Amino acid sequence: MITVHHLNNSRSHRILWLLEELGVPYEVKRYQRDPHTNLAPPALKAINPLGKSPVIEDGPHVLIESGAIVDYLIRRHGEGRLQPDPATATYDEYVQWLHFAEGSAMLPLMLNLYVGRLGEAGAPLHPRIEAEVANYLGYLDQALGLTPYLVGDELSGADIQMSFIGEVAKAQGKLPAYPNLAAWVQRFQARPAYRKAVEQGGEYAFAK
């Protein structure tokens, strides 16, 4: 039985969603953020010394990093589902999206969040951050104008990994400028497996 160490309002939601899409049995160990600091509780360090989520246990294997977990679960438990054939060029595009989520797209969105908390002190940084956010979200919006999901007509692990980008962009009020991206977020949030993951992990919403 796979155990997901799940922190509320975190990247671990997409691991619950992936497991629901795959129909793989799992159990959830829940952790709640501190209501004042929004940080994970110290207890999470017992399984991951970094005190971050997601973390999964699958038998003797303990894995961190959502991209690595998405790849692992699909390879070990997917039976060919939720990824293209590894022999195709589409698979290379799929892997690119897996890395793009945290390697490129997430940084300007996180900077936008943290610098926004600085008030006037952060004002000089906002134009550059906004330009980078627009650059990445525009790239994603253009890609989603070609197909309903990132690598074709069907959901894949790339969409699940990239979903956090869309949801943070939504929380920051960015989606009206990117209609394809907005439609994609609405599309995947309506999936039964996504809704079931919300039930399993608790209500899921980001503060603006």
Give pLDDT, residue 152.
94
Task: Give dist(CA 107, CA 49) in Å, integer.
Answer: 23
pLDDT of 204 above 80 = no
Residue 108 and residue 168 in contact, taking contact as beta carbons nearer than 8 Å: no
pLDDT tens digits for range 119-141: 888 888 889 999 999 999 999 99
Q: What is the mean pLDDT of the chain?
A: 93
Q: What is the pLDDT of residues 50-59, one digit of tens each?
A: 988 999 999 9
The one-letter code for the residue type at 5 is H
Q: Which domains does the chain have, with CATH numbers?
A: 2-82+193-201 (3.40.30.10), 89-191 (1.20.1050.10)
Q: How far is CA 173 from CA 2, 15, 96, 200, in A?
A: 35, 24, 26, 27
* Assigned token pair, 200: 């399993």
Residue 208 has pLDDT above 60, yes or no: no
Amino acid identity of 134?
A
Q: What global pTM score does this model have? A: 0.93
CA dist., res. 64 & res. 42, Å (int) = 16
Among 34-38, 42-46, 156-160, name the most confident range.
156-160
Strand ranges, E, within the chain: 2-7, 26-31, 55-58, 61-64
d(CA 139, CA 105): 10
Residue pair 153/115 in contact (Cβ under 8 Å)? The answer is no
SS3 of residue 101 by DSSP: helix
Q: 98-126 burial, b if ≥16 CB within 10 A, otherwise e?
A: bebbbeebbebbebbbebeeeeeeeeeee
When mean pLDDT is compared across 4-8, 116-120, 171-175, the lowest value belongs to 116-120
pLDDT tens by residue, 136-184: 999 999 999 999 999 999 999 999 999 999 999 999 999 999 999 999 9
Which one is predicted more confidently, 114 or 71? 71
Tell me what pLDDT residue 189 has: 96
pLDDT digits (tens, 9 = 90+) for 85-112: 999 999 999 999 999 999 999 999 989 8
Q: Is the pLDDT of residue 207 over 60?
A: no
Quote the pLDDT of residue 24: 97
